[in-house]
Structure 1
Amino acid sequence: MAHAAVQYFLSLFFFLFFLSPNVVSSIGVMLNPYNPSCASKPPASATPISSSDVDLLQFALNLEHTECDFFLYGALGCGLDAIAPELAMGGPPPIGARKANLDETTRLIIEEFGYQEVGHLRAIKNTVGGFPRPQLDLSAENFAKIMDDAFGYHLNPPFDPYNNTINYLLASYAIPYMGLVAYVGANPNINGFVSKRLLAGLLAVEAGQDAIIRAKLYERMHEFVPPYQITVAEFTNRISSLRNRLANCGIKDKGLLVPHELGAEGRISTNILSANRDSLGHRRTPAEVLRVVYGTGSERQPGGFLPKGGNGKIARELLVDH
């Protein structure tokens, strides 16, 4: 009996290790849930984070902070100071942010976006360090001015992003896309493999947020935005045109309805995603981004969402007085 048992185990050993490597691999994974093969190896000759990466990735914090508090307040009525106060690093609370009157589906989407932005702030600051949250202006008055600038006249009554779901989505249209184009613009100048991994992860989620916002607006693009006799599509076109005008570097932003020649392959007028002639994401430099976010058309004149200017080396060096 003992001899038979020995033969059985020897046969099983031979089968597992010589005839069925897949079985061995599966058993190894079960015994050791952490599978080293899941982690990609770093490039043979590269640095994790180059010195030039730090400023570019920290610059993005200005946009991430703006999105974070706008989304958290819109969905919850409270912001970063209530969810992860350590990430504010003592920066002042945003001006005028408040809870929006959203339908429950949209509220849940925006709440998720807010938490995602908390994660983005943590990821950037843990990887390359950071700075205190800059002064943000998320007031209805600031958004009203943006919309007035987009249309070239005062909307009556003034646009209020917190009034209802469609207004809030239009206001959201004005924010995440700037993070998207900033990351696409920064990508060629990022050198470290850890920095590249971080930027790719950030860009993926920013693009997803922008796509969801645009898709929800796309479904209602022919509706009038009450109480104005202006369609959703016209709002998006005006906002995009304003950003192109402020950035002053050509067409890198398009609304939901475009001339055929600006649509995908020059064959369609609907424009659910904004992209270039090859359907690649547009890119903007930090200076272009600040011209838009400041709302002044100048990277040296703060205003808009960042009334005291952005924080970090890049933004501060672009100011007139630094």
Structure 2
Amino acid sequence: MSENKTNRRQFLGSLGLVGAGAMLGSCAVVAAPNKPNIDIDVLNFALNLEYLEAEFYLWAAFGRGLSAADSGGGPASVGGRKVNFTDDRVRQYAEEIAMDEEAHVRALRATIIALGGKPVARPKIDIGAAFTAAASAASNGAIKDFDAYANDLTFMHGAFVFEDVGVTAYNGAATLITDPKILQAAAGILAVEAYHAGEVRTYLYANKDQMAYGLKVEQIIAAISALRGKVGGGKDEGITKNGKANIVAADENAIAYARTTAEVLRIVYLGNVGKGGFYPDGLNGNIK
């Protein structure tokens, strides 16, 4: 019993939870003394990311972006178009994820309003050339004309760019949230993003030996993962590890990686500071 308690305490300590008000038995969440309430800022940061994901999937699945009401009147995204899916499974994945991300946008906007805040409008989003730039950077220039909408396989490569980032972003933001109810809702979104990531990673692993742009899928995914890791604080893994399937990207305790907002921004800005990549003019809101 004593050894179990010691191991548990060491484990919680590795997570930064010992002494931070986390209670294993009751799962109660106790706010740290004098912790500033920036919940609305954090939700708006998440909303910016959900705008990006929703735009990509809606265009790929249905050939449209968010409605004017859901976008808050922000500028239309550029570069997206409908994918001519040939694999019905992938089409269904795309449609389900698109509707999930659209629902996330609506839920976040409604929550911010309920808290007395103002949801940020959709910022300028590039879901065309930004993919090409990311592929070129990841492959050291070997892939010059990557098109995320060309076919089922390239679409899933595009999806891989986003899904793991969403998981790590929500995990990292958990420590910033004050209201336990908002934390629970954010955990729920994180879980859905993790389901999406599992779908994408499983498909890509099953097709790891297929060729695209002169490289195996496994090689392209490894390159994308390496680039995300380089600009986003490490914390990334491809779809294989030690020659075996690696569907779950996690640390040695099988816990999903967490990224700070700054690390997430470096990824979506493709290594730039303040703006660039998928957000040519940067995010909207106080965390950008």
Superposition TM-score, scaled by structure 1 size: 0.74
Look up the match of 2:195. 208
Alpha carbons 2:208, 2:216 under 8 Å: kept = yes
Query: Paired residue for 1:176, among 158, 163, 169?
Result: 163
| Equivalent residue pairs, number | 252
Tell me how far apart the structure 2 counterparts of residues 175 and 144 of structure 1 sit (CA, whole Å): 14
Query: Paired residue for 2:216, among 207, 212, 231?
Result: 231
Higher relative CO (Cα under 8 Å, sequence separation at least 6) belongs to: 2
- The residue correspondences of 1:1-322 to structure 2 (distance < 5 A) are 51-81=37-67, 85-103=68-86, 104-129=88-113, 130-139=119-128, 141-155=129-143, 158-225=145-212, 228-247=213-232, 249=233, 251-258=234-241, 260=242, 269-295=244-270, 297-298=271-272, 300-315=273-288
Report the 3-state secondary structure (helix = DSSP H, G, I; strand = E; otherwise coil) of the residue aligned with 2:170.
helix
Alpha carbons 2:81, 2:149 under 8 Å: kept = yes
User: Which stretches of structure 1, 4 residues or longer, exceed 2 Å deviation after superposition?
Assistant: 43-46
Query: Residue type matched to 1:94 in 2?
Result: S
Query: Residue type matched to 1:62 in 2?
Result: N
Report the 3-state secondary structure (helix = DSSP H, G, I; strand = E; otherwise coil) of the residue aligned with 1:175.
helix
Change in Cα spacing, 1:231 to 1:45, as seen in structure 2 (3 Å) is closer
Report the 3-state secondary structure (helix = DSSP H, G, I; strand = E; otherwise coil) of the residue aligned with 2:245.
coil
Q: How much does 1:44 deviate? A: 10
Report the 3-state secondary structure (helix = DSSP H, G, I; strand = E; otherwise coil) of the residue aligned with 2:84.
coil
Rg larger in 1 or in 2? 1
5+ long unaligned stretches in structure 2: 1-27, 114-118
Alpha carbons 2:29, 2:180 under 8 Å: kept = no
Tell me how far apart the structure 1 counterparts of residues 174 and 194 of structure 2 sit (CA, whole Å): 14
Cα deviation digits, residues 181-225 of structure 1 (max 9, x gap): 010001122221221121011101111111101111111112212
Tell me how far apart the structure 1 counterparts of residues 40 and 84 of structure 2 sit (CA, whole Å): 38
5+ long unaligned stretches in structure 1: 1-42, 261-267, 316-322
Q: How much does 1:45 deviate? A: 8.3
Tell me how far apart the structure 2 counterparts of residues 191 and 159 of structure 1 sit (CA, whole Å): 41
Kindly report the root-mean-square deviation, in angstroms, between the aligned alpha carbons of the 2 structures. 1.9
Cα deviation digits, residues 87-142 of structure 1 (max 9, x gap): 11100110111111222221121111111111111111111241110110011x32
Change in Cα spacing, 1:45 to 1:62, as seen in structure 2 (3 Å) is closer
Identity between Structure 1 and Structure 2 (%): 35
